[in-house]
Structure 1
Amino acid sequence: MKKILVANRGEIALRIMKTIKQMGIKTVAVFSEADRNAPHVRFADEAICLGPPPSNQSYLLGDKIIEMAKSHQVDAIHPGYGFLSENAGFAEKVEKNGLVFIGPKSHAIKVMGDKLSAKETVKSYDIPMVPGIDEAITDVKKAKEIADEIGYPILIKASAGGGGKGMRVVEQESQLEEQMKRAISEAESAFGNGAVFIEKYVGSPRHIEIQVLADTHGNVIHLFERECSVQRRHQKVVEEAPSTILTSELRAKMGEAAVNVAKSCDYVGAGTVEFLMDEKKNFYFLEMNTRLQVEHPVTEMITGIDLVEQQIRIARGEELQVQQNDLTINGHALELRVYAEDPTDDFLPSVGTLERYRKPSGKGVRIDDGFEEGMEIPIYYDPMLSKLITYGKTREAALQLMEESINHYEVKGVATTLPFGKFVFNHEAFRSGDFDTHFVKKYYTPEVLKEEEKEEAHLAALMALKLYQADQKTLRIPEVTSEIKPNE
């Protein structure tokens, strides 16, 4: 490979291109008119404007991206995450046009992109599943029969879904019909597919995922777990590696299960197998993400392996140079997704200009971002500004560094999730490791941050007053502005 086009934007496009350049390969960026002056565009060796800001007129134009790649003599396309990364049709078209898709084959994307087909595919490997029904359902009467059989509470989930859309928890039978209608409607709106299925709702669940790598020579390994239980609106906000609750035995079992999931669909490349874990530490297969994950840096920090580099090497047909027994966990890593959102107003997106944008730095601190001071935050895309990652030899060291980094991260012009992150990392439940996916629901309210902001403002005012009073007591000696001559 001599030239790779990155079919994405922002922090992930920039992060991928940094590795590509380190490998001595040329980079091609794509951008919408809103991103014309973005860092990822300037960083690339070549850049192509796809069209107006809306995604469906720019970053989702798969055919145009392929056409531009061919005209620029590109060898391969890296999709990043989001946009076209899990579009099986796009992956297939890339291959048919004589280009390399840096990711799994379209078959794996298609199979794992639908939760029901994914469950069917992994069945023969005896992967633990949450009790429920493995077929799409719209009949309320049948849904009631299933719910009675597995017991309330139940979870209605969109088959083609993700990000919490088309998902409803039903505590009792009287809620079932209304919640089914809502889930189906939301699934149709979000994914163009209203198919839903029912499974037992796991109480106090942990969300734990396993990173896998698979080459074209039949080698499949796992790179341990990531803890992703702190979420808002069923979307991750804080991640860490390793998890505080996994024993070496349990880690090995989950790793083996993840490897088998990858084998079940002939997976190639980097992928993530997600599990739910109940309070008794029973784990259940949730889904497989057939792409690079947002939280991949924490895995890189504890293993020393560049996952993007591995993706490219695998796509070039190379065999994995590391075996399962070679891998060990070194230290601890934390990640905070810094969104341009207001945590005191239901995490609503905050649009504006980055009037001030100063990042923390130092040993053990990593920032993956795609913004600079003075830039506008576009309303057209995901509002994530950056990923703040800290690494330490212990979890306590990583936490200390994270707190210091948040304090030194200056953002003005938009609201961010930095204060929320500080709240999470300082909370006793998180620090003790005793938390689950209900962390935000259990412990967080906007009033908590508002009170903290008031307290900080009060302390700042007291400090300013103390400095002023000390200054007033200081004896001031006038400065001599010119030399006084004798007899004058």
Structure 2
Amino acid sequence: MFSKILVSNRGEIACRVIRTCKKMGIKTVAVYSEADADAPHVKMADESYCIGKPRVHESYLQMEQIINTAKQAGAEAIHPGYGLLSENHEFARKCTEAGITFVGPTANVIENMGSKVAARIKMIEAGVPVVPGTEQALADMSEAIQVAEKMGYPVMLKASAGGGGIGMQIVQNQVELTKAFEGNQKRAQMFFGNGDMYIEKYIENPRHIEIQLLADRYGNTVYLWERDCSVQRRHQKVVEEAPSPFIDIETRMKMGEVAVKAAQAIGYENAGTIEFLIDEQKNFYFLEMNTRLQVEHPVTEEITGLDLVEEQIRIAAGEALRWVQEDINPAGHAIEVRIYAEDPTTFFPSPGTITNLDLPNGEGLRHELAVHGSSTVTPFYDPMIAKLISTGATRKEAIDRLLAALDQYNIEGIKTNIPMLKQVVSHEAFINGEATTQFVEQYIHVKTTKSK
């Protein structure tokens, strides 16, 4: 087992990884930008090193600087968290070349699954159902129009290297496609350094359901059931829950078995997630694979009792999985909401300094914090303040606890999206388990109210 791990991230996920390392008796190294000198993860770690200026490309994306810091501190491994360098195959390869263990899958797997086009091809070869679409990057606008007309509108235009909804757009006709193609191509090139685009058939009113996997280097793979991430805004997840209120046990097991098959087909190792779209008839289709820990991993932890970060570290250290599929017996229900520093009427980021932070306490509540009571939410990073997770013996109990906690949350000095979250979780369609990926657009209209 490692004696020291560098956490190559910030915010709540850095704190989350450090907490598990402490539990395992592993010393931790934090890296931080000048803007994060007072951040919680810096104080939690055994050692902390400033690696650059506030902007991510001058600090948290500085691969050589991070690896050199790991060497300097004597860390045998680097945990990348999620976002930033977590799915950068070049970084994973550089870690390996430097003799440092990357806590995640191999660089080759990250590279193969990082391109959505390449991933689709791999899944088709493995016999995994995929949404009908192009199997190669589109050459130009003319080819995009031809493909869309043959497939039939509406279609989903996507960036091959995209994520977080960037470069993704539903188009209803040729006029919309013509407008969308060039703009999304430019955005993809700017954010990911890759402007390749492809087209998928758009599935009407789907659910977004993902399967959590664990796999070791010895060929053992298990699925930890599913998470329902259908409540989204601009293709970014807002609320996640486990298990899904929509699918039945037969579909659940079938999706899990397909996800395991897909992971084994590519020689996957460590924690990963296969994301699916599922239609109203419960037909499911491969969407993408995330070769890292997910933001919403706590809901899986709450229903299975497993610490996914600990499992990641053990796998990276060369241990075999401690579980077989029959050992994974989920119980209860868990729901996570993401609390952001956002203007609740426009959804624009609302940076500023927190002047007071009061957290609700009670049975079945868990907080993953990115801030403390006097933190400044800067404009340089994702404006997440916290994740609030509620757990109950039943879904109703989890919802009731979550609503009570949101009412008690008190964050002063900045605006937050808590008013929207209350609307979502208290809405009849959500309570009845009827939310699709169109839920927010269909039902949520945030009024101009003062945020706590």
With the shorter chain as reference, the TM-score category is over 0.9
Equivalent residue number for residue 342 of structure 2? 341
Unaligned runs of at least 5 residues, structure 1: 458-488
The separation in 1 between residues aligned to 2:171 and 2:109, in whole angstroms, is 32
Does residue 1:326 correspond to 2:324, yes or no? no
Kindly provide the amino acid, as one letter, of the partner of residue 416 in structure 1.
T
SS at match of 2:131: coil
8 Å contact from structure 2 (residues 342, 348) kept in 1: yes
The separation in 1 between residues aligned to 2:144 and 2:47, in whole angstroms, is 54
Does residue 1:245 correspond to 2:249, yes or no? no
Unaligned runs of at least 5 residues, structure 2: none
Equivalent positions of 1:414-433 (< 5 A) are 414-433=414-433
**Runs ≥4 residues deviating over 4 A:** none
Equivalent residue number for residue 207 of structure 2? 206
Equivalent residue number for residue 96 of structure 1? 97
Cα deviation, residue 241, structure 1: 0.3
Equivalent residue number for residue 137 of structure 1? 138
Kindly provide the amino acid, as one letter, of the partner of residue 434 in structure 1.
E
SS at match of 1:349: coil
Give the count of matched residue pairs: 451
The separation in 1 between residues aligned to 2:267 and 2:315, in whole angstroms, is 14
The separation in 2 between residues aligned to 1:179 and 1:42, in whole angstroms, is 45
The separation in 1 between residues aligned to 2:115 and 2:93, in whole angstroms, is 17
The separation in 2 between residues aligned to 1:294 and 1:143, in whole angstroms, is 33
Equivalent residue number for residue 255 of structure 2? 254
Cα deviation, residue 148, structure 1: 2.5
TM-score between both structures, scaled by the size of structure 1: 0.90
Which range moves more in the overlay, 201-210 or 141-150? 141-150
The separation in 2 between residues aligned to 1:96 and 1:171, in whole angstroms, is 47
Larger Rg: 1
Equivalent residue number for residue 87 of structure 2? 86
SS at match of 1:403: helix
SS at match of 1:146: helix
Cα deviation, residue 257, structure 1: 1.3
Deviations along 1:63-115, whole A, 9 cap, x unmatched?
01110111111111000011110110000110111111110100111011000
The separation in 2 between residues aligned to 1:139 and 1:53, in whole angstroms, is 37
Equivalent positions of 1:210-359 (< 5 A) are 210-345=211-346, 347-359=347-359
The separation in 2 between residues aligned to 1:5 and 1:413, in whole angstroms, is 32
Cα deviation, residue 280, structure 1: 1.6
SS at match of 1:389: strand
Cα deviation, residue 243, structure 1: 0.3
Kindly provide the amino acid, as one letter, of the partner of residue 206 in structure 2.
P
8 Å contact from structure 2 (residues 123, 130) kept in 1: no
Cα deviation, residue 166, structure 1: 1.2
Equivalent residue number for residue 404 of structure 2? 404
The separation in 1 between residues aligned to 2:308 and 2:170, in whole angstroms, is 35
Cα deviation, residue 417, structure 1: 1.3
Equivalent positions of 1:148-187 (< 5 A) are 148-187=149-188
The separation in 2 between residues aligned to 1:157 and 1:424, in whole angstroms, is 27
Cα deviation, residue 139, structure 1: 3.0
Residues 1:180 and 1:370: Cα distance change in structure 2 (over 3 Å): closer
TM-score between both structures, scaled by the size of structure 2: 0.98
The separation in 1 between residues aligned to 2:175 and 2:342, in whole angstroms, is 35
Deviations along 1:247-284, whole A, 9 cap, x unmatched?
11100111011112211221110001100111221110
Cα deviation, residue 406, structure 1: 0.6
Deviations along 1:375-422, whole A, 9 cap, x unmatched?
111110000000000000000000010011111110011111111111
The separation in 1 between residues aligned to 2:233 and 2:146, in whole angstroms, is 31
Cα deviation, residue 238, structure 1: 0.5
The separation in 2 between residues aligned to 1:282 and 1:342, in whole angstroms, is 37
Superposed CA RMSD: 1.4
Deviations along 1:187-238, whole A, 9 cap, x unmatched?
2222221111111111001110000000011101100000101111110011
Kindly provide the amino acid, as one letter, of the partner of residue 419 in structure 2.
P
8 Å contact from structure 2 (residues 123, 129) kept in 1: no
Kindly provide the amino acid, as one letter, of the partner of residue 381 in structure 2.
Y
Percent of aligned pairs with the same amino acid: 51
8 Å contact from structure 2 (residues 370, 384) kept in 1: no
Cα deviation, residue 179, structure 1: 2.0
The separation in 1 between residues aligned to 2:372 and 2:444, in whole angstroms, is 30
SS at match of 2:306: coil
Cα deviation, residue 319, structure 1: 0.7
